[in-house]
């Protein structure tokens, strides 16, 4: 009688487990927008590269070209302001809850993403403070930069900002982002096969228990 009761309990637990699996809802993975940030960084830097390449070929940006590039630079600045905020949030969200060390070995992805994230934060005041100071003093930005003797540093900061964002996002996407990444086809098929094999083993075990009880 005890063995019969035990077998019935095992069969009931298996059925409950299988029913629970069927009732489980499949939650959609959170969307990883790292690729979008990289694409935005490329778009933001395009006007400067177009102007640089045209200048290298001896094309002078005057007249309607100058007016067009002023509009493009304005759009680029607007995109950069959005890009910096999204990139900082993306990078530091990826750092949350991630180990800085794997045992005694530093987590390169963690420290790399953190380094680029800090650089992005440092570049924001380096780029914006001279502009705000020039506006406050009623000066042109070029004159204000010349007085502070940081023309080259400011230009480098503006040029490197999109590249640093790309680097930080790339490190974050490479493995430390805590958002769920959708399974690829191979991983999904392997998972389903393991679940099917486990279900078959449970069913065989349950059938064996039933046969044992029947023989008894």
pLDDT digits (tens, 9 = 90+) for 31-54: 567 888 888 888 888 888 888 888
The span from the CA of 33 to the CA of 14, in Å, is 41
210 contacts: CB under 8 Å, gap ≥ 6: 7, 11
pLDDT band at 12 (very low <50, low <70, confident <90, very high): low
At residue 4, does pLDDT exceed 60? no
pLDDT band at 117 (very low <50, low <70, confident <90, very high): very high
pTM of the model: 0.61
Lowest mean pLDDT among 72-76, 88-92, 102-106, 138-142: 102-106
Most confident of 10-24, 120-134, 194-208: 120-134
Per this entry, what is the length of the chain? 216
At residue 10, does pLDDT exceed 80? no
At residue 128, does pLDDT exceed 70? yes
pLDDT band at 116 (very low <50, low <70, confident <90, very high): very high
C-alpha neighbours within 13 Å on the C-beta side of residue 182: 7
pLDDT band at 202 (very low <50, low <70, confident <90, very high): confident
At residue 21, does pLDDT exceed 60? no
10-14 long-range contacts, Cβ below 8 Å, gap at least 24? 10/205, 10/206, 10/209, 11/206, 11/209, 11/210, 14/202, 14/203, 14/205, 14/206
Query: pLDDT tens digits, residue range 158-168?
Result: 989 999 999 99
Q: Which residue has the higher pLDDT, 84 or 33?
A: 84
């Amino acid at each position: 009688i005890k063995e019969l009761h035990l077998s019935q309990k095992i069969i009931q637990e298996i059925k409950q487990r299988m029913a629970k699996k069927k009732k489980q809802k499949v939650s959609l993975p959170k969307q990883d927008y790292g690729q979008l940030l990289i694409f935005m960084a490329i778009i933001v830097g395009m006007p400067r590269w177009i102007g640089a390449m045209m200048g290298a070929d001896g094309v002078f940006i005057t007249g309607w070209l100058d007016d067009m590039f002023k509009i493009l630079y304005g759009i680029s600045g607007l995109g950069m302001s959005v890009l910096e905020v999204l990139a900082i949030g993306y990078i530091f969200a990826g750092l949350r809850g991630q180990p800085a060390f794997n045992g005694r070995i530093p987590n390169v992805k963690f420290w790399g993403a953190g380094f680029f994230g800090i650089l992005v934060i440092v570049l924001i005041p380096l780029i914006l403070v001279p502009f705000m100071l020039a506006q406050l003093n009623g000066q042109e930005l070029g004159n204000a930069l010349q007085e502070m003797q940081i023309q080259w540093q400011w230009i480098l900061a503006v040029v490197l900002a999109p590249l640093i964002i790309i680097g930080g996002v790339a490190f974050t996407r490479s493995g430390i982002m805590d958002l769920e990444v959708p399974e690829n086809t191979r991983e999904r098929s392997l998972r389903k096969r393991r679940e099917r094999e486990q279900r078959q083993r449970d069913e065989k075990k349950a059938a064996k228990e039933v046969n044992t009880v029947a023989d008894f």
